[in-house]
Amino acid sequence: VKEVEEIGMLLPQVEASVLSLGKFNSMVSLAAFFPFKSAQAALENMNAISEGVVHADLKLFLETNLPQSGKKKSVLGVSDGKIGAALQEELSSSIQTGGVVAEITRGLRLHFHSLVKGLTALAASKAQLGLGHSYSRAKVKFNVNRADNMIIQSIALLDQLDKDINTFSMRVREWYGYHFPELIKIVSDNSMYCRLAQLIGNRKELSEENLESLEEVVMDSAKAQAILDASRSSMGMDISPIDLINIERFSSRVVSLAAYRLELQEYLRSKMSQVAPNLAALIGEVVGARLISHAGSLTNLAKYPASTVQILGAEKALFRALKTRGNTPKYGLIFHSTFIGRAAAKNKGRISRYLANNDAHIFPTCLLGTLISQLPTSVFGDKLREQVEERLSFYETGDVPRKNVDVMKEALKEVENGEEDNTLKKKKKKKQAAEEMEAQAEEAPSGENGEETSAKKKKKRKAESEEVEEAPDAEDGAEETETPAKKKKRKSEAMDTQPEETPETPVTEKKKKKKKKDAAE
């Protein structure tokens, strides 16, 4: 930058003059330009700037092109304050981030393709678009909360489905109630009522033949018989076939929505067991998912103290109590846990506080268990759940619960034992796979010798595996050592009782081989 006036640059006339290339060139001239070597290098530089880190390429470019000596000290203009502070630490020159720098950078972006020779506006816009897309892809790919987002969307959809199924079921009840009003009192479940409306259709056509199908839906023979009796003496109005077709279609949609809700709940359960197994084991999948959704992510929930977890979801009641100086709420979303429902009225606040404390402790312990076992485990959640059960019994009966230190030691032992079991299983699997590969490679023998050798090798492998899997006891070994000695004694006694015969010289294997060679010659 040749010359600039900070006060004058803020005037609207001067700001408009930046749009003109001739006037901008009178103030700014290109001293040095360093293009990126590749798209990957450009992405790395962009990620470094977004994180406020000085990349090696940027440092090298500034060190080589910034004037070190002169009458006037050079001032480096940086548009981003974070990267400006990082450059201030790295370089000795003075940095300016505010004021006129924004206007100059605006002009540079506008006239960049004119300042660099051989660069067109179309090529520059394409390069910027490609870099922007790759930067966005990298940010989405390495999003820390990508597993939490699935849980947040699932629990939101589950709550919405509950509301919709309830509303649609009431609509079916009201619509089909004109034709068969007695069915509302007999069947109280919404999804069952919709299935019955779909099955029965016109109540006048219901007969004894339909009794079995009614029992399959209702799962009660007495209730099925009551429906059949009520259909014969119903005071409902007659219905046209076209109205009945519309009711059946709508009820089938409600039934399919109820079935999809069950599938979604199963998906949420599996997702929670992968992402937050200890939280799901302690307070349940649905309540844990609601806490994650309300906090925004599992990371945010892990940062909350126990007092915040306790009243999470009851913010309106808390601020109303603070405003009116009334009693603050004892629980929020955590109220839906089964422990608070089972506790007595005077102990609900205590157990909610204890449960929130365990929720806050569960994240560091969960992290510790994952670091030890290298796999997500629910051991700590199960142990903390046992502690809450003991605390409930302590409030009711007075039995003193175990200390948290002892419980965590037990959990750590279980995790370590589980890790050892997993390593042993993996080793066995690897051994079996290697043996199978060897057997497959040796399965195609050339002649009888090949078959005999493969059979011998298989026998050896079986013997080795039996020795590894079944380690004999000391007593069994002693018995085995004793039995051949007894047999020798019996043989010697039998030899003494038999008459003396001429002793035959034992023929060794070497002599046998020599005889065979002589016979062959």
pLDDT in tens, the chain (521 residues): 555 555 555 566 666 667 777 777 777 888 888 888 888 888 888 888 888 888 888 888 888 888 776 666 778 888 888 888 888 888 877 888 777 777 778 888 888 888 888 888 888 888 888 888 888 877 766 655 567 888 999 999 999 999 999 999 999 999 999 999 999 999 999 999 999 999 999 998 888 888 889 999 998 889 999 999 999 888 989 889 999 999 999 999 999 999 999 999 999 999 998 888 888 888 889 999 999 999 988 888 888 888 888 888 898 999 999 999 888 888 889 888 888 888 888 888 888 888 888 878 776 655 555 444 455 677 888 888 888 888 888 888 888 888 888 888 888 888 777 655 555 565 666 667 777 777 776 664 444 444 444 444 555 565 555 554 444 444 444 444 444 444 444 544 444 444 444 444 444 555 555 555 566 55
Q: Is residue 429 part of a domain?
A: no
Same domain as 286, residue 253: no
**Of the residues 234, 265, 296, the one at which a domain ends:** 265
Cβ–Cβ under 8 Å, residues 299 and 321 = no
Structurally, how many domains does the chain consist of?
Answer: 3
Domain hosting 343: range is 276-419
- Burial (CB < 10 A; 0-12, 13-18, 19+), residue 354, is buried
- Burial (CB < 10 A; 0-12, 13-18, 19+), residue 259, is exposed
One-letter amino acid at 153 equals Q
Q: Is residue 172 part of a domain?
A: yes
**Of the residues 140, 163, 179, the one at which a domain ends:** 140
Question: What CATH code is carried by the domain that includes residue 30?
Answer: 3.30.420
Same domain as 187, residue 89: no
Same domain as 285, residue 204: no
Q: Is residue 96 part of a domain?
A: yes
* The pLDDT value given to residue 98: 73
Same domain as 349, residue 281: yes
Q: Is residue 451 part of a domain?
A: no
**Of the residues 202, 235, 265, the one at which a domain ends:** 265
Q: Is residue 513 part of a domain?
A: no
Question: What CATH code is carried by the domain that includes residue 316?
Answer: 1.10.246.90
Q: Is residue 354 part of a domain?
A: yes
Same domain as 315, residue 401: yes
DSSP secondary structure, 45-91, as one string: HHHHHHTT---HHHHHHHHHHS--SSSSPPEEE-S-HHHHHHHHHH-
* The pLDDT value given to residue 419: 57
Same domain as 346, residue 246: no
Question: What CATH code is carried by the domain that includes residue 153?
Answer: 1.10.287.4070
Same domain as 282, residue 240: no
Same domain as 16, residue 135: yes
SS3 label, residue 94: strand
Contacts within 8 Å (CB) and 24+ apart, 204-212: 204/231, 206/231
